[in-house]
Amino acid sequence: MSDYMPRSDVKILDFIKNLIAYLEANATRLGIAATVITALKTLLLSFEAALEKTGLPETSRLDTATKNAAKGELCSATRDFVNVNIRYNKAVTDIDRVGMGLPIPDKKPTSIHPPTTAPVIELRLERIRQVIVAFKNDGSKSWGKPAGVHGAEIRWAVRDQHDVKDPPIEPTDLANSSFATKSPHTMEFSGAERGQTLDLCLRWENNVGDKGPWGEISSAIIP
């Protein structure tokens, strides 16, 4: 999907206001939860309030920085929302996309092959109760997903250090599943899980849902 986000602050505000209004009017038909729209609307209101302050004569550098931070968070959340809830939503028509101000995707068929490589991962333990999963394609110099890939499926489980069970050998040994569309991906844990072992492995999924091979199972102690 080509870049649809306007560049100016005012146009960004108008674009996302229109998007939210359309979503609120068509949420049931499109199968989009009201809570997801509300979360986006909350970020919109924060940006709108911050933008209004930068228009005052007494605008400070802090006001401008606050506005820019709110805009960045809103734009990032909007892109994630569109990728997850609109891009592959079969209920969304071309008319809906026009109504939301989004581009109509190219219908020309392209040859898309299943991923043949597994993600290379790096587990970063920077904050308590968090494990940050950075991933990239084997041989890539930069972290992130390769072209034609929608994201990475994560299979994971938390294992008590005193658990008598053997460490997992196969991805099917890992009970939980989640999906990451961008790298790095942050996993949150409870205080009770601190000091336990996180086991996980990843595989790529392309833009049409084809999955690649699983990578090796990696482990880290939850900080």
Whether a cis peptide bond, with omega within 30° of 0, leads into 109 is no
Q: How many CB atoms lie within 10 A of CB 92?
A: 21
Dump pLDDT digits (tens) for 16-27.
999 999 999 999
| Res 170 pLDDT > 70 | yes
Whole-number mean pLDDT of the chain? 90
Report the C-alpha gap between 171 and 216 in whole angstroms: 9
Q: 123: pLDDT confidence band, cut at 50, 70 and 90?
A: very high
> What are the residue ranges spanned by the domains of the chain?
9-100, 119-221
| Res 208 pLDDT > 70 | yes
Residue scoring higher pLDDT (186 or 105): 186
- How large is the average pLDDT for residues 4-15? 92
Task: Tell me what pLDDT residue 162 has.
Answer: 62
Residue scoring higher pLDDT (107 or 59): 59
| Res 1 pLDDT > 60 | no
Task: Tell me what pLDDT residue 204 has.
Answer: 95
Tokens of 113: 């092959």
Residue scoring higher pLDDT (212 or 109): 212
Percent of the chain at pLDDT above 90? 72
Domain 119-221 CATH class label: mainly beta
Q: 113: pLDDT confidence band, cut at 50, 70 and 90?
A: confident
- How large is the average pLDDT for residues 49-74? 90
Task: Tell me what pLDDT residue 108 has.
Answer: 65
* Residue 4 contacts residue 101 (beta carbons within 8 Å): yes
Report the C-alpha gap between 37 and 210 in whole angstroms: 29
Tokens of 126: 């920077």
